[in-house]
Amino acid sequence: MPQLRLALNQIDSTVGDLTGNTETIVQWTRHSAEQGAHLAAFPEMALTGYPVEDLALRSSFVAASRRALTELASRLAEEGLGEVPVVVGYLDRSERAHHYGQPAGAPSNSAAVLHRGAVVLRFAKHHLPNYGVFDEYRYFVPGDTLPVVRVRGVDVALAVCEDLWQEGGRVPAARAAGAGLLLSVNASPYERKKEDTRLELVRRRAREAGCTTAYLAMIGGQDELVFDGDSLVVDAEGEVLVRAPQFSEGCVLIDLELPAAGAPPTGPVGDGLRVDHAVLSADPLPPYPAELTGGHADRLSEDEEVYSALVVGLRAYAAKNGFGSVLLGLSGGIDSALVAAIACDALGAQNVYAVAMPSRYSSEHSETDAAELARRTGLNFRTVPIGPMFDAYMAGLELSGLAEENLQSRIRGTTLMALSNQEGHIVLAPGNKSELACGYSTLYGDSVGAFGPIKDVYKTTVFRLAEWRNASALERGQTPPIPENSITKPPSAELRPGQVDTDSLPDYDVLDRILERYVDRDQGHAEIIAAGFDAELVTRVLRMVDAAEYKRRQYPPGTKISAKGFGKDRRLPITNRWREPN
């Protein structure tokens, strides 16, 4: 049987950085060629970054993407890399009008095969996702061909992300075309427990296609999204041949023995697709370095996986937007403590600046716990008492009750933003998903900032991640970053004497289980009560969630780790009189 050495390049792209992304693709193509690869692949829209959102609607950006693709093909040949066929995702435009009204020239989520200085095959994504964070019907037109490239006597069918996730389309077409390998290039965002779903999907699709199937994914971060890699190759029976690490850039090399190609099919091969075929050549297989023989990367535990996603998300947001340092208020509580630990791991403690801002209601342990975290991590720490500022406001406004409480939070927010302007750090907002859901935050107070690292993390998970991070440090012989008292003491905003979160919110364990059903799974009042929750409590929680939509719209972006975070994938009107039950 023919042998094919496949190089899956799991890389991090930046949206709009055509020059930087080109350099990355050239670098990893060179690495693939040096290892004797016969076919090198890069993720969905690797050349433009993903998702490009409304940049797809700018003809200037589409044209720049097309130019960058042809220039990349020429450059690979000029640098002696032209003999290796390269599959790379980019933004293109359609060449014809589509039956549902899209004119010729509409943008397409496309990929191409580059070889010997030319673009030998272009194809567009067939299935366009339109759920969750995806909005591809807004931007793209679908492709209508099954691309097949013949390399070393093997027919390789090509797919883009949703073409593999959706039933039908490219998968049965690949079987009908007699492909020896189905290669899917993806930019599939991370969510908790998605790796198991992804693995089972690829196994199922390999059995349906009747051939070895390779799934290549992107890594890195783009705004709220994180990409975790986890690329894999399975055989026709669904057995895993190789699996890449999560959250790590790199090249996965594997030698495959695959069926020899037959005669190219003619006519439709499924779902209205017709075969678009290109025959390429490649050099004989060179010796295979023993240290590169595939294998299975160790899988991360669920807590380590989530924590890693939060670190990667913050690091990518800061680096890709040109921010070198971050600033946060450090209260001694669990939320700001976890955010500080994530920031130190993402950017280095020397680039993390924290401020304690005690008021007359701040407990002694809040100040000592904040100082202890600073000592353990080595971050930059200072104390700015807000008492004098608070007294000045009160003298002029004579506030009381909730207005007095929120004034303290807003003074802290103003202080952080002033230091941000003065010193050039971006402010991190410490709010968690439980608080955002219920509106338990102060506009222009604790909600100020450029990024919310734990915005999509429920409070119960915040505690679990803090415990995991400390345990992980102990396993490595390091000092746990988060003081134990920050984990064990009752959460409190400390805006009035003796205040604790449970004065305003239900117990977090119960609250989070209700929120997960209402927010993440869109269950209604009756369904949640039927699951065993108290009816009065459910009514109260749902009322809080519905009333807080205007606050969430003004919260900064933050890393998405769940199937439905606040933002692109949960879109509700602010002005809305529908209430559960109804």
Q: What is the pLDDT of residue 389?
A: 94
Q: Which residues contact 52 (CB under 8 A, 6 or more apart)?
A: 15, 16, 45, 61, 91, 139
Q: Which of 439, 438, 250, 454 is nearest to 334 (CA)?
A: 454
The CB density around residue 374, as the number of other CB atoms within 10 Å, is: 20
* CA end-to-end distance (rounded Å), the chain: 64
Task: Give the 3-state DSSP-derived string for 254-285, with helices as H, strands as E and coil as C.
Answer: EEEECCCCCCCCCCEEECCEEEEEEECCCCCC
Which residue in 136, 161, 320, 580 is the catalytic one?
161
Instruction: Please determine, for residue 377, whether its predicted confidence score (pLDDT) is greater than 50.
Output: yes
Which residue in 125, 320, 560, 568 is the catalytic one?
125
- pTM of the predicted model, to two decimals? 0.90
Q: How confident is the model at residue 173 (pLDDT cuts 50, 70, 90)?
A: confident
More confident of the two residues 200 and 169: 200
Q: What is the mean pLDDT of residues 518-541?
A: 94
pLDDT digits (tens, 9 = 90+) for 395-410: 999 888 889 888 999 9
3-state helix, strand, coil in the chain (%, to 5): 40, 20, 40
Q: What are phi and psi of 319, to 5 degrees?
A: -65, -45
Q: Which two tokens stand for residue 183?
A: 């290669």
pLDDT digits (tens, 9 = 90+) for 100-111: 556 667 888 999
CA-atom Rg of the chain in angstroms: 26
Q: What is the pLDDT of residue 499?
A: 67
User: Contact, 200 vs 207, CB < 8 A?
Assistant: no
Q: Which two tokens stand for residue 58?
A: 């700018």
Q: How confident is the model at residue 290 (pLDDT cuts 50, 70, 90)?
A: very low
User: Contact, 5 vs 288, CB < 8 A?
Assistant: yes
pLDDT digits (tens, 9 = 90+) for 339-354: 999 999 999 999 999 9
Instruction: Please determine, for residue 425, whether its predicted confidence score (pLDDT) is greater than 70.
Output: yes
pLDDT digits (tens, 9 = 90+) for 429-445: 999 999 999 999 999 99
User: Contact, 229 vs 9, CB < 8 A?
Assistant: no
pLDDT digits (tens, 9 = 90+) for 183-217: 999 998 999 877 788 899 999 999 998 999 999 99
DSSP string, 520-543: IS---HHHHHHTT--HHHHHHHHH
Instruction: Please determine, for residue 477, whether its predicted confidence score (pLDDT) is greater than 70.
Output: yes
Q: Which two tokens stand for residue 563?
A: 């199937």
Instruction: Give the pairing type, strands 219-222 and 225-228.
Output: antiparallel
Give the position of tokens 């999509």.
456
Q: Which fold has domain 302-504?
A: Rossmann fold (3.40.50)
Q: How confident is the model at residue 492 (pLDDT cuts 50, 70, 90)?
A: low
Choose the most confident range, by mean pLDDT, from 48-57, 272-281, 359-368. 48-57
The two domains 3-287 and 302-504 share their CATH topology (first three levels equal): no
Domain boundaries, the chain: 3-287, 302-504
SS3 call for 302: helix
Instruction: Give the pairing type, strands 240-243 and 232-234.
Output: antiparallel
Q: How confident is the model at residue 35 (pLDDT cuts 50, 70, 90)?
A: very high
Average pLDDT value for the chain:
89
More confident of the two residues 359 and 559: 559
Identity of the amino acid at 228 = D
Q: Which of 118, 116, 115 is nearest to 156 (CA)?
A: 115
Give the position of tokens 């899209």.
102
Q: Which fold has domain 3-287?
A: Nitrilase/N-carbamoyl-D-aminoacid amidohydrolase (3.60.110)
Is 302 known to be catalytic? Answer: no
pLDDT digits (tens, 9 = 90+) for 538-569: 999 999 999 999 999 999 999 999 989 998 88
User: Contact, 213 vs 184, CB < 8 A?
Assistant: yes
Q: What is the pLDDT of residue 105?
A: 79
Q: What percent of the chain has pLDDT over 90?
A: 67
Q: How confident is the model at residue 1 (pLDDT cuts 50, 70, 90)?
A: confident
- Per-residue b/e over 307-346, b at no fewer than 16 CB within 10 Å? bbbbbbbbbbbbbbeebebbbbbbbbbbbbbbbbbbbbbb
Q: What is the mean pLDDT of residues 364-378?
A: 90
Is 161 known to be catalytic? Answer: yes
Query: Helices H, strands E: what count in the chain?
Result: 17, 21
Q: What is the mean pLDDT of residues 413-421?
A: 96
| Helix pair 508-515, 459-475: axis angle to 10 deg | 110
SS3 call for 90: strand
Q: For the ranges 74-78, 256-260, 302-306, which has the lowest average pLDDT?
A: 256-260
Is 475 known to be catalytic? Answer: no
Between CA 191 and CA 75 the distance in angstroms is: 36
